[in-house]
Amino acid sequence: MQRRTILKAGLGLASLPLLSRFAFAADQKPVTFWYESASPENQDNLKNLLVDPFNAAHPEDSLSIDFRGSDLDKQLRVAMLSGTGPDVVFTAGPSYVAAMSQAGQLLPLDDYAKKYGWNDNILPLFLELGKYDGKLYALAKTYETLGLFYNKTLFAKNSWKAPTTVPEFEALADEMKAKGLVPFGAGNADWRPANEHYVSIILNSIAGPENVYKALTGAIPWTDPAFVASIDKLAEWWDKGYFGDNYFSLTLEQAFAQVATGQAGMAPTGTWNFTNINPYFPDNKAEPGFVGFPSAKGDPIYPLGIGSTLSVNAKSDNADGAATVLDYMFKDDFYSKMNSAWQGEWNLPLKDLSKVTLSDKVPPLYTETMKNLSAAVSDGKYGYTTWTFLPPATDTYLVSGMEEVWLKKIKSTDFLKKLDETFKSEKEAGKAPAVPPRT
């Protein structure tokens, strides 16, 4: 039982018979929540901003978080298949939700959405992305985008400007290489799916969001020439050394840190890396920059991604408690406190942010970027991330298949042929995530 709950109850509780006090504690219903990796600082943030205040406000429930690290996905699949697992289900995105919903592992949330007003409080697009077969099964924990981080101090020193077109981007990368810099701060040592960050970028930047949408809805195949040109371009960047020599041995954080130190010029990556700005840029006396990724047409591209989703286990013994935890997160107060402490991982898709107040310690660059992403979503000018919109087997193959292209084991056309075959099979089986119409 939480100490703060005892204190809140007052001294009268201390005078209760011992048996009664045990009975009071036993009445609490546990709510288990398995989480991925988090730094010690962010584990404290979850304890101080979620677990402790939730338990204080809801003495009938006892929320606990178990950090499972990079093995969360595997452990979760095994547990859910056996009918166990946590009450609050954390997945890596909508591609997992469709398969788990189809298997009956997740509880429909429509009644809770009505009860708690989620249909009015959450951006409609993200409610649609959490649906399967017309029912709501997941809420987006964070929505994110891919773009180009860079070292503004390094850029000013070399009189460089943030590129807006692909040719400008390539010319800048070539100049960086000539100066002995690694153009991309990139690595996948601790997260192999980092490969798909670059595939998502290139598909939207070269083929364009409209073509990606057509492929996702089955209007054109993934073998379309526009996608061949995209994968060929990504392979060309690899061959030219833009990714450096240590891609397979650098972790995501180590790779991003190279941008702050000036060893790497740019990082084509996602907004989750805002959490790594304060640990590295100030110490290196460098200022960070971020722009939408350059495109063939010159307009910045903001591929839309859902970094993770939150659901309720269909086999939960405390489904009401788990849903109450979800509702606790989707509030202005929690959004304000968590995003003030931990940027890039808790951009909850609330419809109205007018009551949200962030700490003055939050980098203005983060606020500006989130506004740009929100505007892109509202205007229907967003792109698509593979981990959000592809079904699971297709997405898994994309991660390994891109490496085979880079390492000259297969050609782009062979990669896309297998990708297309896998996608069609999963789409026919009803495992593809929802793809809302473009507005």
With DSSP H G I counted as helix, E B as strand and the rest as coil, what are the percentages for the chain, rounded to 5?
50, 15, 30
Q: What pTM was computed for the model? A: 0.84
Tokens of 326: 């979800």
Which residues fall within 8 angstroms of residue 82, CB to CB, at 6 or more apart? none
Averaged pLDDT, 175-186: 98
DSSP label of 49:
I
Q: Both 22 and 130 in a single domain? A: yes
Neighbours of 394 (CB within 10 A): 25
**Percent of the chain at pLDDT above 90?**
81
* Nearest to 272, CA basis, from 248, 290, 295: 290
User: For the ranges 219-233, 303-317, 347-361, which has the lowest average pLDDT?
Assistant: 347-361
Q: Both 31 and 70 in a single domain? A: yes
Q: Both 288 and 198 in a single domain? A: yes
Residues 314-348 have pLDDT tens digits of: 999 999 999 999 999 999 999 999 999 999 899 99
Concatenating the DSSP letter of every residue in 271-293 gives: GGGGGGHHHHTGGGT--EEEEEB
Q: Both 110 and 42 in a single domain? A: yes
Residues 254-278 have pLDDT tens digits of: 999 999 999 999 999 999 999 999 9
Query: What are the residue ranges of helices labelled H in 332-411?
Result: 332-341, 364-378, 386-389, 392-406
Is residue 23 over pLDDT 80? no
Averaged pLDDT, 106-121: 98
Taking CA 246 as the corner, what is the angle to CA 243 and CA 251, rounded to the nearest 5 degrees? 95
Q: Domain span at residue 309?
A: 3-143+305-378
* Nearest to 103, CA basis, from 320, 315, 307, 394: 315
Q: Both 117 and 92 in a single domain? A: yes
Q: Both 269 and 386 in a single domain? A: yes
Tokens of 131: 């649906």
User: What is the C-alpha to C-alpha distance for residues 150 and 105, in angstroms, rounded to an integer?
Assistant: 42
Q: Domain for residue 437, yes or no?
A: no
Contact 244, 129 (CB under 8 A): no
Q: Both 98 and 208 in a single domain? A: no
Q: Both 21 and 163 in a single domain? A: no
- Tell which phi-psi region holds residue 382, choosing left (phi > 0), alpha (psi between -120 and 50) or beta: beta
Q: Both 102 and 156 in a single domain? A: no
Tell me which amino acid residue 437 is.
Answer: P
Q: Both 122 and 45 in a single domain? A: yes
Number of domains in the chain: 2
User: What is the C-alpha to C-alpha distance for residues 382 and 438, in angstroms, rounded to an integer?
Assistant: 9
Residues 60-77 have pLDDT tens digits of: 999 999 999 988 989 999
**Percent of the chain at pLDDT above 70?**
94
Tokens of 92: 């890596």
Query: Would you state the pLDDT for residue 18?
Result: 38
Q: Both 283 and 413 in a single domain? A: yes
CATH number, residue 322: 3.40.190.10
User: What is the C-alpha to C-alpha distance for residues 21 and 19, in angstroms, rounded to an integer?
Assistant: 5
Q: Taking the C-alpha atoms of 229, 233, 235 and 237 in order, what is their torsion angle to the nearest 10 degrees?
A: 180
Task: Read off the pLDDT band of 26 (50, 70, 90).
Answer: low
Tokens of 241: 């050394």
